[in-house]
Amino acid sequence: MKIKSFIIAFLLIIIYSIARAQSSKVRYDYSRKHPDKDSRRYNFIDSSKKIVGRFNFLGLLDPYDENASIGAEYKFAPQWSFGMDAAYIFNSAYLRDSKHCQGFIFRPFLRFYPDNGRREYFEVELHYKHVAYQLTGWQGKDVVDGVPSYEEYTTFHYIKNAYGVNIKFGTWSDLTNDKRLRLEYYIGLGLRFKKQHSANGSYSPNTEFLTELYKPYYATPVLPMGIRLVYDLKTL
């Protein structure tokens, strides 16, 4: 995990340095060609219809459910687009007794680009996560009103489903002169509803940290933020 964090942090530093250099070059070229205009206010918005690929590499550093996330965006109007990200969950620290897990995340979204000459966007995003954690231990059986009649030492799955909605604000930096490759930065506010249970029985996770996260039903505000790499696949 430390090696993975170091590699991703190193890549972020390189990408950020490239983005700063490219951004400065674009502003310099524009200022030289248009000395009568304020380069800070020139129109960054690409109004063409296009299909964009997305890769959110920070999912690899998710402290609870490590995931690989890719997605696509379809810009169907100068100021509007929609799309979806999908992620595969391959590792987790959510349950320390779990030896194996797998799951997926779907995040459809609708995005608005204000026509104000700046690099920014607003986004409404839905969130759905499903994860199955494989455990070997004591599982309650014949549960009546939340109380098991007996316990059995067995291998079973603990299922987590999470639903939510996010409102995000973001911006971006061009990484290439043709502006097809970019870094997007975003932050937002959301609400998450979680339902989790043991399949065919009952189980209480053995944890002394953030016990609220392991209740059968759980609702909490969230603060989504991150960086993703995007690339214009096709202009229509």
Does 179 map to a domain? yes
List, for residues 27-81, the tens digit of each pLDDT value.
555 555 555 544 444 445 677 889 999 999 888 888 788 999 999 999 999 899 9
CATH number at residue 170: 2.40.160
Does 223 map to a domain? yes
Closest among 133, 183, 216 to 13, alpha carbons compared: 183
Does 229 map to a domain? yes
Instruction: Give me the number of domains the chain comprises.
Output: 1
Which long-range contacts (C-beta less than 8 Å, at least 24 apart) are formed by 14-19?
A: 15/175, 15/183, 15/229, 16/173, 16/183, 18/175, 19/173, 19/174, 19/175, 19/183
Quote the mean pLDDT of the chain: 83
Does 34 map to a domain? no
User: Can you tell me the mean pLDDT for 179-198?
Assistant: 94
pLDDT of residue 190: 97
Between 32-41, 97-106, 145-154, 163-172, the lowest mean confidence (pLDDT) is in 32-41
Does 109 map to a domain? yes
Does 218 map to a domain? yes
pLDDT of residue 47: 75
Give the range of the structural domain holding residue 76, as residue numbers without chain letter.
42-235
